[in-house]
Amino acid sequence: MKQKIAELIEQAVADLISKGALPEDLQPRVQIDNTKDKSHGEFASNIAMMLAKPARKSPRELATMVVDSLPSSQWIEKVEIAGPGFINFFLTDQGGFQIIHEIIEKKQQFGRSTKGAGEKLQVEFVSANPTGPLHVGHGRGAAYGETLSNLLEAVGYQVDREYYLNDAGRQMDILATSVWLRYLQQSGEKILFPSNGYKGDYVIELADQLVSEHSKRFSHDATDVMNSICDDEPAGGNKEQHIDQLIERAKQLLGTEDYRIVFDQGLNSIRADIEQDLEEFGIEYQCWFSERAMMESGKVDAAIEKLQDLGFIDEKEGALWFRSTDFGDDKDRVVKRDNGQPTYFASDIAYHLDKFQRGYKEVINIWGADHHGYMARVKAALKALGENPDRLKIRLVQFAILYRGKERLAMSTRSGSFITLRELRNEVGNDAARFFYVTRKVEQHMDFDLELAKSQSKDNPVYYIQYAHARIASVQKKLQEEGLAWDSNPEQYHLDRLIEPQEKSLINKLSLYPETILKSAEAGEPHLLVHYLRELAGAFHGYYTEHKVLVEDAEIRNARLTLYICTGQIIRNGLTLLGVSAPESM
RNA sequence: GCGCCCGUAGCUCAGCUGGAUAGAGUAACUGGCUUCGAACCAGUUGGUCGCACGUUCGAAUCGUGCCGGGCGCGCCA
């Protein structure tokens, strides 16, 4: 409808220009807004104010000219000029009812579009290190990434969801060593657990599995393990050195093959746990991309060599530096350490190059806000490699700070004291968790009070929306019980019987759904959809309490049922995109 | 010190590419179930939009400078 009105205005302006009433070089950027106040009609345009200056006329005078030149339309009841020069459009009933027919016709397809034209996009999200279970901080990225993917699919893109698995590097070595040391403790060795190791209970469980599957295969005397290892921090030493020496000792005593078994035991088990956790949360990836596999394939070395060939690598102090300052970064970055090991950044370069080569129109990364410093260097590397860095879109997700009442909860994986995503899901439920996470825009810091979410779960907005859906389902059930049915023949809708103000505003809300989806998707802001659904549910609840559906008058009944069915459809469509269920009863 | 994000009602947050009297939820208070589900509805109270300039017909929205909070600035991942 907006489009139709915009066309009318464009015609009017073009008409005025051809008559010489307006300058030729005028380029109208027609903007149609939804009005907040219905006394201003359904839609408003500020075109007269926009053109006032270039046309050298007063806004109101210009508005009059535009209105007089406006072609007539069956959808427009009347047009008024108001305020400083707004042109307000009042729709005819038929104009407003169009949307009802469209919803009934398209059902779950309503609101979806083909704007994306089937182009391929990739969304990479969560990508937490497989060193422990996901915690509530990861949950926000998970819910956001999945919802964004759903929205992009809804507007016609083909989306691949991807998880970058950091299954190589020092953190994983620390995990493997932690598991092994717990294993040794299980077998009765007196070993003081390193302060820098992973202390969570799940590490002990991994050690238990190791015992039951491999018995004493990895056993060694505590004295051999700890011999000549430097002191840990509590004993006055350096905790980083301490853990690094323990890693070396583990590799040396176990040998390549056995070390890999211990390593993989931890990796595979945690990865499986993460995958299951996310699946239960409604998220399935098209690809789990292994960093280790990428390194073993030689892609990381190849990327470094390519940069070297292009002349962007300097050798300093035994290390290889990528000259990222040539491409707008603050400082140059090491890609290969003096010990010959590639850095995390080197993997990232190779990984992003690989993504780009897989033919996506755009690659979207969802990162925690603490990673914002990496944007410049990754884009710099892509640019150096001859790729267009604008194809990489990075969305930063601010932290969710978890509270239990007033108490702020720790979220460190290493310390082992954190609330897992699974615990959160069990406590507040998947629907409330998914909904809560995307209610606020991602740039906002978020306070997540567990006690509130739990104790006041009845007041959670997600139930408000679901309740509207359940009420509609309930009415339909009641209809059947009374031996009645909704007449699905459009001739029998009798929409002209919808004359109540609550009906008008509900219809108006319904008509806003498609543009809400489009905007949410394009701006990457699922919270717009959340707020829309709340408003829609609000409009419905108000209507529901004021007017009965199952009235004697069959025409009014069918008209209202039609409106109910449309409302239920939109709530279902919206909640589905959010990954929230739309229950028939609750 | 430099960079990114944020500052709107007591609290948690919306406010669409600048648009008409700044909106929800929650909390507080008042009223509404013999009638399709009260997990609901109607109403009242509550704001110098952090502060100050600037841009213009018009600024919560854009620009600059302060103030306040969060995060980042490793041969860690």
A182-235 tens-digit pLDDT: 999 999 999 999 988 998 889 999 999 999 999 999 999 999 999 889 988 888
Q: Are residues A160 and A245 in the same domain?
A: no
Does A422 reside within a domain?
yes
Percentage of chain A beyond pLDDT 90 is 65
Q: Which helix (H) or strand (E) holds A537?
A: helix A526-546
Q: Is the pLDDT of residue A3 over 60?
A: yes
Give the pLDDT score at A33.
Answer: 85
Q: Is the pLDDT of residue A407 over 80?
A: no
pLDDT, tens digit, 9 for 90 and up, residues A220-230 = 999 999 988 99
Give the pLDDT score at A414.
Answer: 54
Q: Are residues A252 and A296 in the same domain?
A: no
Give the pLDDT score at A584.
Answer: 95
Chain B nucleotides close to protein (CB under 7 A) are: 2-6, 12-17, 19-21, 23-27, 32, 35-42, 56-57, 69-77
Does A99 reside within a domain?
no
Q: Are residues A161 and A288 in the same domain?
A: yes
CATH number assigned to the domain comprising residue A493: 1.10.730.10
Q: Are residues A161 and A295 in the same domain?
A: yes
**Rg, Å, chain A Cα set:** 31
Q: Which residue has the tokens 């959808």?
A: A75
Question: Is A509 within 7 A of strand B by CB distance?
Answer: no
Question: Is A394 within 7 A of strand B by CB distance?
Answer: no
Separation CA A155–CA A351 (nearest Å): 28
Alpha helices in A298-360 (DSSP H): 299-309, 344-357
> Tokens at residue A335, please?
């890609």
Q: Are residues A333 and A295 in the same domain?
A: yes
Q: How long is the CA A579 to C1' B72 vector, in angstroms?
A: 32
Which nt is closest to the CA of A516, judged by C1'? B16
Domain boundary among A280, A300, A328: A280
Q: How long is the CA A247 to C1' B8 vector, in angstroms?
A: 52
pLDDT, tens digit, 9 for 90 and up, residues A523-553 = 999 999 999 999 999 999 999 999 999 999 9
Q: Is the pLDDT of residue A406 over 70?
A: no
Q: Which helix (H) or strand (E) holds A82?
A: strand A76-82
pLDDT, tens digit, 9 for 90 and up, residues A65-120 = 889 988 888 888 889 888 888 999 998 888 889 899 999 999 999 999 999 999 99
Does A434 reside within a domain?
yes
Does A257 reside within a domain?
yes
Question: Is A328 within 7 A of strand B by CB distance?
Answer: no
For chain A, give percent helix, strand, coil, nearest 5: 55, 15, 30
Q: How long is the CA A56 to C1' B57 vector, in angstroms?
A: 12
CATH number assigned to the domain comprising residue A151: 3.40.50.620
Domain boundary among A91, A112, A129: A91
Query: CA dist A229 to A176, A195, A245, A246, A374, Å?
Result: 18, 14, 6, 7, 35
Separation CA A350–CA A335 (nearest Å): 11
Q: Are residues A506 and A417 in the same domain?
A: no
Residues 6 or more apart whose CB falls under 8 angstroms from that of A420 comprise A133, A134, A135, A136, A277
- Domain extent, residue A18, equals 2-91
Q: Are residues A383 and A304 in the same domain?
A: yes
Does A55 reside within a domain?
yes
Residue-by-residue DSSP string for A16-79: HHHTTSS-TT------EEE-SSGGG-SEEE-HHHHHHHHHTS-HHHHHHHHHHHPPP-TTEEEE
Is the distance from CB of A66 to CB of A9 less than 8 angstroms? Answer: yes
Using a 10 angstrom Cβ sphere, with 0-12 exposed, 13-18 middle and 19 or more buried, the burial of residue A323 is middle
For residue A278, how many other CB atoms are within 10 A of its CB?
Answer: 24
Q: Are residues A388 and A413 in the same domain?
A: no
Does A449 reside within a domain?
yes
Does A131 reside within a domain?
yes
Q: Are residues A553 and A501 in the same domain?
A: yes
Q: Are residues A473 and A552 in the same domain?
A: yes
Does A554 reside within a domain?
yes
Q: Are residues A24 and A73 in the same domain?
A: yes
Separation CA A443–CA A60 (nearest Å): 40
Give the pLDDT score at A415.
Answer: 54
Q: Are residues A261 and A392 in the same domain?
A: no
Question: Is A54 within 7 A of strand B by CB distance?
Answer: no
Domain boundary among A247, A280, A313: A280
Q: Please tell me the total count of domains within chain A.
A: 5
Confidence of residue A416 (pLDDT cuts 50, 70, 90): low
